Amino acid sequence: MNIGEIARRSGVSRSTVSYALSGKRPVAAATRRRILEVVDELDYRPSAAARALREGRTRTLGLVIPPAGARLTSMQLDFVASVVEAAARVDLDVLLSPSGGDHDRSFDRLVTGQRVDGVVLMEIRLADPRVTRLEQAGMPFVTVGRVGEPDRMWWVDVDYATLIARCVHHLADLGHRHIAFINRSARLVAAGYGPARRAYQGFTEAAVQRGVIASEFCCADDASAGETCVAQILAAHPEATAIATINEAALPGVQRALERAGHEIPDTFSVTGVVASRWAEESRPQLTAADVPAAEMGATAVQLIMERIAEPGAAPKRRLFAPPISLRGSTGPVVR
Binding residues vs its own copies (CB under 8 A): 43-50, 52-53, 58, 60, 65, 67-68, 71-72, 77, 81-82, 84-85, 88, 91, 93-98, 104-106, 108-109, 112-115, 136-137, 223, 252, 255-256, 259, 278, 281-284, 295
| 301 part of the interface to DNA, by CB under 7 A | no
Please name which of 298, 301, 293 lies closest in space to residue 153, comparing C-alpha atoms.
Answer: 301
d(CA 309, CA 118): 7
| 22 part of the interface to DNA, by CB under 7 A | yes
CB of 57 to DNA, least distance (A): 10
* Half-sphere exposure in the Cβ direction for 70 (13 Å, CA): 14
| 14 part of the interface to DNA, by CB under 7 A | yes
Site mask, DNA, residues 35-74, x = CB under 7 A? ---------x-xx--xx-xxxx------------------
Find the angle CA(304)-CA(309)-CA(312) to the nearest 5 degrees: 105
Q: Which of 18, 241 has the CB closer to DNA?
A: 18
Q: How many residues bind DNA (CB under 7 A)?
A: 31
Q: Which of 215, 268 has the CB closer to its own copies?
A: 268
Using CB atoms within 10 A of its CB, is residue 34 exposed (0-12), middle (13-18) or buried (19+)?
Answer: middle
Which of 16, 74, 241, 283 is close enough to bind DNA by CB under 7 A? 16
Q: Which of 59, 319 has the CB closer to its own copies?
A: 59
- Sequence-ordered list of residues with C-beta below 8 angstroms from that of 290, at least 6 positions apart, any chain: 163, 164, 166, 167, 273, 274, 275, 322, 323, 324, 325, 326
Give just the sign of the alpha carbon dihedral 20, 25, 29, 30.
Answer: negative
Q: Which of 49, 235 has the CB closer to DNA?
A: 49
Please name which of 138, 105, 100 lies closest in space to residue 121, comparing C-alpha atoms.
Answer: 100
Q: How far is CA 88 from the centre of its chain?
A: 17
| 2 part of the interface to DNA, by CB under 7 A | yes
Binding residues for DNA, rule: CB under 7 A, are 1-4, 11-16, 18-19, 21-22, 24-29, 31-32, 44, 46-47, 50-51, 53-56
